[in-house]
Amino acid sequence: MVPKEAAKANPWSWRGRFLDHESQTEIALLKRGYHIGFIQSDDMKYWQAWFEFVTKKHGLSHKPALVGMSGGGRNAFNWATMNPDHVSCIYADNPLITRESLMKLDRLIERDVPLLHVCGSLDPLSVNHTYPIESIYHQLGGRISVMIKDSVGHVRVASRRSSRQTNSPATSAIQAG
């Protein structure tokens, strides 16, 4: 998606999976001049090809803000840990993470990539995914914020905001990233 007026340096948000789920962050970023990229694949070779396409052919920033929900979070962390020089920040909503990516988080910390995680208090997966990420990030001096939504499970965690609201924590974190 292309904004009406692009912000300086052509920033973009890149969502891996579930574009039609809780898209208020993307709507707010479009209004602020961000381009929105999306890919529905778990295969990192397609992620890399997409990155090359939008940065080389369309001149978008070489450091997108990665957005991932659930399995999309897993994909965001997979790509980010393989390409740490090309990530401005990660906003993850109840993300999954592979053991391989978990062991490579130091690559993101070395490049000062900030993380924002939003998780449901009832999500049983947070114990094996967000909590280890948070622990490693803190131990190694990385910047991470974790927001817990009370009485919410794995699905539909992001707070319902109207598309007119543009000051959500996720939007602010991406712009700061």
Q: Which amino acid is at 113?
A: V
Taking 70 as the threshold, does the pLDDT of residue 169 lie above it? no
User: Which class is 12-176 in CATH?
Assistant: alpha beta
| DSSP for residue 22 | S
> pTM of the predicted model, to two decimals?
0.82
pLDDT tens digits, 121-168: 777 777 677 889 999 999 999 999 998 887 766 665 444 443 333 445
CA distance 35 to 7: 9
Q: Which residue has the tokens 């070395």?
A: 110
In the three-class reduction of DSSP (H, G, I as helix; E, B as strand; rest coil), residue 28 is classed as: helix
Residue 115, phi then psi, degrees to nearest 5: -120, 145
| Confidence grade of residue 96 (pLDDT, cut at 50, 70, 90) | confident
Lowest mean pLDDT among 18-32, 40-54, 92-106, 150-164: 150-164
